[in-house]
Structure 1
Amino acid sequence: MKYFGTVSSFDTGNGHGEIKPETGGDLLRFERNAFSWGNNAVPTVGQRLSYDVGTNPQRQPCALNLQTI
């Protein structure tokens, strides 16, 4: 199931960021390797994206398969 949200932060140094779900709730973390458009592109704060929800190795929810809309 695809979800939609807005990038609230992205740190180019460590490759981690957070996305705010449009449906509300907690921010979801994501990593640079979750981008479907290539690892060299950088999301911008406020950018609207679609994503899937999964879990990271620490078993915490995270955003995966990020796509521009």
Structure 2
Amino acid sequence: MKYFGTVKSFDAIKGLGEIKPETGGDMLGFERSAFSWENDSVPTVGQRLSYDVGTSKESRPCALNLATI
């Protein structure tokens, strides 16, 4: 199932960010490896993306398969 949200932060050096789900709830973390586009293009704060929900290495919910809309 695809979800939609807005990028709240992204640290290009660390390759980590957070996305705020449109349906509410806690922000989800994501890694650069979750992008479904060229890795040299980074998301911008306020950008709306679609994503899937998965589990991080730390067993926390995270955003995967991030895609531009």
Partner residue of 2:29?
29
Please tell me whether residue 60 in structure 1 is matched to residue 60 in structure 2. yes
Structure 1 residue 16, shift from structure 2 partner: 0.1
Aligned-residue offset at 1:40: 1.1
Identity of aligned residues (%): 75
- In structure 2, the residue corresponding to 1:33 is in which secondary structure? helix
Task: Name the counterpart of 1:17.
Answer: 17
Query: How far, CA to CA, are the matches of 2:53 and 2:64 in structure 1?
Result: 6
Q: TM-score, normalised by structure 1?
A: 0.98
Give the TM-score taking structure 2 as reference length.
0.98
Measure the CA separation in 2 of the matches of 1:14 and 1:27.
18
**In 1, Cα distance between the equivalents of 2:38 and 2:16?**
15
Gaps of 5+ in 2: none
Following TM superposition, by how much is the alpha carbon of 1:38 offset from its aligned partner in structure 2, in angstroms?
Answer: 1.9
Amino acid at match of 1:10: F
Q: What is the deviation of 1:60?
A: 0.2
Measure how far apart 1:4 and its partner are: 0.1
In the alignment, does 2:43 pair up with 1:39? Answer: no
- Runs of 4 or more, structure 1, over 4 Å off, are none
Q: Structure 1: give runs of 5+ residues left out of the alignment.
A: none
